[in-house]
């Protein structure tokens, strides 16, 4: 099922968890094929992706994700749902909500987020 979602800039941010900026590559699996994306932020509930390569035909709403967070050797494998697709521009951002994540993967994300929050608050104190 292909569905075009859009984001209104005036739409209230529906994320329940704090976003943490990141800059990392993500494999986004659409119809069984990997497409390279760059993640620009992550939270416990999802991430924002900037597609680098995209299929030319419709993009499915559900996807697989594989990525590695900075400072971790664990490859996180997750399932996600596109909840926000910013326009038809091939370089438009895609908001993804995690729909399936193992407890081990969630622990790695939590550890990263708590470490990132600690380091960002320490840098503002200096």
Q: How far is CA 106 from CA 9, 47, 80, 92, 126, in A?
A: 29, 13, 14, 27, 31
Residue 36 has a pLDDT of: 96
Higher confidence at residue 115 or residue 85? 115
Selection from 121, 126, 35, 119 nearest residue 80 by Cα = 35
User: Which domain, by its residues, includes 96?
Assistant: 20-117
Mean pLDDT computed over 70-86: 92
Give the number of domains in the chain.
1
Provide φ and ψ at 125, rounded to 5°: -80, -30
What is residue 117's three-state secondary structure?
helix
Instruction: Read off the pLDDT band of 126 (50, 70, 90).
Output: very low
Of the listed ranges 4-8, 87-91, 102-106, 114-118, the least confidently predicted one is 4-8
DSSP string, 44-105: SSEEEEEESS--SSPPBSEEEEEEE-TT--PEEEEEEEEEEE--S-TT--EEEEEEEE-HHH
Tell me how far apart the alpha carbons of residues 81 and 92 are, in angstroms, rounded to a whole number.
16
- Report if residue 11 sits inside a domain: no
Residue 116, C-beta contacts closer than 8 angstroms, at least 6 positions apart: 20
- Report if residue 34 sits inside a domain: yes
Tell me how far apart the alpha carbons of residues 29 and 63 are, in angstroms, rounded to a whole number.
5
| Tens-place pLDDT, residues 5-60 | 455 443 444 556 788 999 999 999 999 999 999 999 999 999 999 999 888 777 88
- Report if residue 8 sits inside a domain: no
CATH of the domain at 98: 2.40.10.220
Q: Is the pLDDT of residue 71 over 60?
A: yes
Instruction: Read off the pLDDT band of 91 (50, 70, 90).
Output: low
């Amino acid at each position: 099922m292909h569905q075009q979602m859009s984001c209104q800039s005036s739409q209230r941010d529906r994320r329940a968890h704090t976003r943490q900026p990141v800059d990392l590559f993500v494999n986004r699996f659409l119809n069984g094929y990997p497409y390279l994306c760059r993640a620009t932020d992550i939270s416990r509930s999802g991430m924002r992706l900037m597609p680098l390569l995209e299929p030319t035909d419709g993009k499915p709403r559900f996807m697989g994700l594989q990525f590695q967070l900075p400072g971790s050797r664990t490859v996180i494998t997750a399932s996600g749902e596109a909840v926000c697709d910013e326009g038809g521009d091939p370089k438009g951002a895609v908001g993804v909500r995690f729909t399936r994540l193992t407890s081990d993967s969630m622990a790695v994300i939590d550890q990263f987020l708590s470490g990132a929050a600690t380091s960002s608050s320490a840098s503002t104190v200096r």
